[in-house]
Amino acid sequence: MFKQWLMASALIASTGMAHAFVNSAIKFDGYCDGFSDLTTEGSSGAAGTWQNLDCAGSTATSGGAQVRDAGTGAWGYSMSTTGVAAFTGGYEFTWVIRGDRTWSVYTTTGQYINSGTWSPKVRGWVAPVGARPSWQP
């Protein structure tokens, strides 16, 4: 019995280590946008919804991978968009959302756009007055 318990505990621990340590809903501090429904998919995938991407309420599905930051060791996500170019002046984006509550956004060709911090998104959160989306530095 103890052996079965030990094996089950080891499996749970190893599974837990593979998942990102990022809240399921986040907001980019000082900006109008963020992500919701952030989930892990399988052993290394990730999915989520980019919320309020144009500060007018538009949303887009995104997908990517769970990643580990080489500098901090914190787990996070690398999330990319598809089909948002009509809302964003012709650009698609990739975010690196880190477990240490920082983020960076790049064009899908790798050009750095912006970075900052994130906070857990709570029900009823309203974007700051005059805020712009994270992809507009």
Q: What is the residue whose two structure tokens read 């030990």?
A: 6
The answer to whether 104 touches 94, Cβ cutoff 8 Å, is no
Q: Has this prediction a pTM greater than 0.85?
A: no
Poorest-confidence range of 5-9, 14-18, 40-44, 65-69? 5-9
**Inter-CA distances, 131 with 49, 59, 88, 137, Å:** 19, 17, 15, 11
**Type and span of the H or E element at 45:** strand 45-51
**Average pLDDT for 98-124:** 91
User: Domain ranges in the chain?
Assistant: 20-120
More confident residue, 91 or 2: 91
How far is the C-alpha of 113 from the C-alpha of 42, rounded, in Å? 29
The answer to whether 6 touches 19, Cβ cutoff 8 Å, is no
What would the pLDDT profile of 18-61 be if each residue is shown by its tens digit? 445 788 899 999 999 999 988 888 778 899 999 999 898 889 99
The answer to whether 75 touches 22, Cβ cutoff 8 Å, is yes
> What per-residue confidence (pLDDT) applies to 20?
53
3-state secondary structure 48-74: EEEECCCCCCCCEEEEEEEEECCCCCC
